[in-house]
Structure 1
Amino acid sequence: MPKTQPPVKLRLWTIEEYHRMAEVGILQPDESVELIAGQIINAQSGIADYWVLNLKNRQLHVFRQQTPDGYQSEVILAEDAIISPLQFPSCTITVSELLPPVIES
């Protein structure tokens, strides 16, 4: 059975923690931030597409179509899918190139 390298521990935030950060002033009321897949991102940063790797399921979550209310599109790609960043459409990347290698046991 194939195995991947040991997983990277990523600290994901809960909705309750997100709201507490706003209550204590870590997140400012005039900041446009979002909680996406447990990660806090700045929705006004001008990021055309936001990618989140799911190492466990070997998938890429792609968020696009940014509006003042957040990203309006989410696509989940398998590791054999090919994608291009919106800012660099001539650059093609296979999702598997972004993932840690599979180690055979």
Structure 2
Amino acid sequence: MLLPLSFFVFTTVPMVLFTKELENQDTFEGKDATLCCKTTCQDARVNWRRGPLVLEEGMKYSMQKEGATHTLVVHNVKVEDSGEYICDTGDEQSKAALTVKGNHYSFLLLFVFE
């Protein structure tokens, strides 16, 4: 008589944490803004968000990964791009504020009286 045999395999997946957090950025309209963070795992996948909105790579956003370093570039920023940006590993989040200042021009008028 054969008895049923069962096997259970338990694995643990290490948590992906941040070794370098995102930092707040101030920039001017028309520039590119770069947000960068570093995780404990080189194979980590992250999601980038602006508030609740998940960001996708395209003309506005570039996402790069080099080793454990994750970078988001916001191209040609506008004042409307200001806000909280989040890098999410699934285990932890790093947040930073992007502040975009409008381009204000000052003109000097010179009058010459003779």
- The TM-score, its normalising length taken from structure 2, stands at 0.29
Kindly name which structure, 1 or 2, has the bigger radius of gyration based on alpha carbons.
2
Higher relative contact order (CA 8 A, sep 6+): 2
Higher helix share: 1
